[in-house]
Amino acid sequence: MPTVLVLVAGVGIGALSGLVGVGGGVLMVPLMVLGLRMRIKVAVSTSLVVALATGIVGAAGYFTTGFDRLSELLPLIVGSVVGAWAGVRLRDPLPDGAIRIGFAGFMAMVALRILGDAASIL
């Protein structure tokens, strides 16, 4: 995949992430696996590093516009850090195929939930 196309995809993913808080791993992992031919474990790890950088920039933007509820989010932040650590420990021994199937299943469930919500079905 050409570098320019990867850059354009990154801009789109970053914009989506900043607008609606989604896009990081959901869009980056498939791009890296299918477009850049990365192994799934490398793509997931790379996605987390990129999400960290995107999150810092997004959070800075929210704080400069007056976001002042960080203390309410501390349990979520701590829980997410602990969960990420546990997830990495669980991921390492799993074969790539199992992670691919799990990721695909998760994306399918999220897509169905969003579609159902948008159509007022679920």
CA–CA distance, 65 with 79 (Å, rounded to integer)? 26
Split into its structural domains, the chain has a count of 1
Q: Check: pTM over 0.85? Answer yes or no.
A: no
Question: Which run of H or E residues covers position 3?
Answer: helix 3-20
Give the pLDDT of the chain (122 residues) as one tens digit per residue. 788 988 898 888 878 877 776 667 788 888 889 888 999 999 988 888 888 887 788 788 888 888 888 888 888 888 988 998 998 899 989 999 999 999 899 889 988 988 888 888 75
**What whole-number distance in Å separates Cα of residue 15 and Cα of residue 78?**
26
Domain range for 103 is 3-118
